[in-house]
Homo-oligomer: A and B are copies of this chain.
Amino acid sequence: MNIQRVVRDLVATSRAPTLHSKSLRVVEDESGDLEVAVDPVGCRPGDFVITISTSAARHATGDYSITTDLTIGGIIDHWSEDRWRD
Contact in complex: B58, A56 (CB < 8 Å): yes
Q: How many copies of this chain sit in the oligomeric assembly? A: 5
Encode A35-61 as 1/0 by CB contact (under 8 A) with B. 111001100000000101111111110
Q: With the chains together, A58 CA to B30 CA distance in Å?
A: 25
Tell me the smallest distance from the CB of A52 to a CB of chain B, in Å: 5
Label chain A's interface by main secondary structure.
mixed
- Please give me the 5 A-B residue pairs with the lowest Cβ-Cβ distance, nearest first: A15-B74, A12-B74, A60-B67, A1-B36, A56-B67
Contact in complex: B69, A36 (CB < 8 Å): no
Tell me the smallest distance from the CB of A75 to a CB of chain B, in Å: 5
Contact in complex: B34, A3 (CB < 8 Å): yes
